[in-house]
Amino acid sequence: MRRFSTRSLPPRLADLEQEIKGYAKEFGLDFYEVIFELLTYDEVNMVAAYGGYPNRYPHWRFGMEYEQLSKGYEYGLSKIYEMVINNDPTYAYLLESNPEVDQKLVMAHVYGHGDFFKNNFAFQHTNRKMMDEMANHATRVRRLIDRIGIDKVEDFIDRCLSIENLIDYHSPYIKREPSSQEGSEETPVRGLRNDREYMGEYINPRSYIDDLQRKAAEDRDRKKRFPERPQRDVLLFLLDHAPLEPWEQDILAIVREEAYYFAPQGMTKIMNEGWASYWHSTIMTTRALKDSEIIDYADHHSGTVSMRPGTLNPYKIGIELFRDIEERWNTGRFGRDWEACDSLAERQTWDKQLGLGRQKIFEVRKHYTDVTFIDEFLTPEFCIDQKLFVFDYNDKRQTWEIASRQFKAVKEKLLHQLTNFGQPIIEVVDANFENRSELLLVHRHDGIDLKLDDARHTLQNLQSLWRRPANLYTRFDGKSVILRFDGQDHSDRKAEL
């Protein structure tokens, strides 16, 4: 890639870069150095297929991604405008064939992302040298391929990827107690009844008490579950306890590390895109835009934040929510007085001229993720303004239809969609299930069933990693079941845990 040769934007773009960067700094955006690279559309598709990284380990799914992206581009269905990588320095890509106004817009957008990456708390634990780390992963996997063969390695990667969403998204932010406390506590045991303290040595000799203590400890160990408490980070659990070969461990560790690296981006999709859109729109409309460029800008910007019916565009909802917050904190539409006011006329003209908006949104971009962002700042007025609705599948009519426009319903559904990435919560609860070293996972059912065929396939992959039968406790149609794959066949049985 060009990155490894001397990097130079053509003079005109380099000038624009300086100009836009100046505006971004002027507004107080704070980012690592941003390195822009100019790519042809084919290169953009390639880099995008690798998730933005010029160096990834070989795997067919990147080829699939590439095929889909290039086809989308050929058919005129999609076009990648911007790509930016959370790294220090931050890398971003510009599409060579874009007109100048688009390049400016993309740059402004990228500085927004750069600021978000650097400052949002969810990214604090991410590896800022991920560009290099990814390249290391690529080298490690390539070496394994040379040694073991592409088919075996790729097949194993498939299995790991199948469970890559079974990580504990919150673990980087929570300090949990170590799960194993072997020998750290003495079991209190009582010897034989003894009313006379001076007789103690005779009635309950030291050796007898020790004996009792040992027995009690054995007893406890036998009852103790393994893992002691449910473990959300299934990948880590397998890494520690599954009978994997060293090369398999290596790959699993790589997949896990990359999953954790990408997790914050998933947790802040709405905020991150909203923040970047807010800044490209602010910078463009107040500073960078020339009169002659307004039409093109408006066209592009409205494309970015357009809504297809029935879908939620994170760019749109994000930018609107940031603007809404800014407006509310500028005019003082928050806090106890505002909540208590029930005069419609008063509310409509409410303006305390606080001017705290800008400051507030900078604060929000630092301390929130999508879940808390929506939970705290989504208001009934906003739902109405943005025409939000909940949709459901109508089995009788076999179509998706609008189910509700109630604020409560919309908020609940949104939060549910965002919690744990909108993915089911599944934990390892027993690695010695029914005393047969089988693996038992539990799906914390929250009203929505799993997709059954996928669940079975995934179970198959878990079994192959654990090398013993794998079980999943879940619910279908209101009934509790344990799905099981023993290496040969699937079976399920009704069960309550």
Partner 1 sequence: MSLKIKQDHARFKAIVRGKIKQNLRKFIQKGEMVGKQGKDLITIPLPTIDIPHFRYGAKQQGGVGQGEGEVGQSLGPGQEQPGEGDGKAGQGEGQHLLEVDISFGELAEILGEELQLPKIEPKGTDRIVTEKTRYTGINTVGPESLRHFKRTYKQALRRQIASGTYDASRPVIVPFREDRRYRSWRTTPQPEAAALIVYIMDVSGSMGDEQKEIVRIESFWIDTWLRHHYKGLAARYIIHDAVAREVDRETFFHTRESGGTMISSAYKLAAEMIEKDHPSNAWNTYVFHFSDGDNWSADDTRLCLEIVKERILPNVNLFAYGQVESPYGSGQFIRDLRESCNDDERVALSEIADKEAIYGSIKEFLGKGK
Rule CB under 8 A: is residue 259 a binding residue for partner 1? yes
Which of 44, 414, 442, 482 binds partner 1 (CB under 8 A)? It is 414
Of 413, 419, 437, 492, which lies in the binding site for partner 1, with binding defined by CB under 8 A?
413
Interface mask toward partner 1 for 159-198; x: CB under 8 A: --xxxxxx--------------------------------
Q: Is residue 386 involved in binding partner 1 (CB under 8 A)?
A: yes
R_g of the chain computed on alpha carbons:
28
Q: Least distance from C-beta 427 to partner 1, angstroms?
A: 11
Binder among 392, 434, 487, 490 for partner 1 (CB under 8 A): 392
CB 269 within 8 A of CB 370: yes
The answer to the question of residue 395 lying near partner 1 (CB under 8 A) is yes
Strand partners, 35: 91
Owner of token pair 């978000």: 116
Measured from the CB atom, the residue of 336 and 387 that comes closer to partner 1 is 387
Least separation in angstroms between residue 411's CB and partner 1 is: 9
CB < 8 Å & 24+ apart, contacts of 209-216:
213/186, 213/187, 213/189, 216/187, 216/189
Give, as ranges, the residues between 456 and 485 that touch partner 1 (CB under 8 A): 457-458, 461, 472
Pick from 454, 486, 490, 495 the residue near partner 1 by CB under 8 A: 454
Three-class DSSP category at 94: strand
Judged by beta carbon, residue 386 or residue 432, the one nearer partner 1 is 386
Q: Which of 32, 262, 338, 377 binds partner 1 (CB under 8 A)?
A: 262
Name the residue among 392, 393, 400, 447 with its Cα closest to residue 424.
447
- Asked, as a colleague might, if the bond just before 89 is cis with ω within 30 of 0, I would say yes
Which stretch in 21-29, 109-117, 347-355, 395-403 sits in contact with partner 1 by CB under 8 A? 395-403
Tell me the window of 79-87, 183-191, 336-344, 388-396 that interacts with partner 1 (CB under 8 A).
388-396
- Please state whether the peptide bond connecting residue 227 to the residue before it is cis, i.e. omega within 30 degrees of 0: yes
Size of the site for partner 1 (CB under 8 A): 87
Per-residue burial over 313-349, b = 16 or more CB atoms within 10 Å of its CB, e = otherwise: bbbbbbbbbbbbbbebbbbbbbeeeeeeeeeeeeeee
Enumerate residues 112-141 that contact partner 1 by CB under 8 A: none
- Taking the least distance from each CB to partner 1, the nearer of 286 and 423 is 423
Check binding of 338 to partner 1 (CB under 8 A). Answer: no
In 7-129, which residue ranges form alpha helices assigned H by DSSP?
11-26, 41-49, 60-74, 100-119
Q: Which stretch binds partner 1 (CB under 8 A): 94-102, 243-251, 311-319, 338-346?
A: 311-319
* Cα dihedral: 177, 179, 182, 188 (round 10): 70
Alpha-carbon span 306 to 283, nearest angstrom: 20
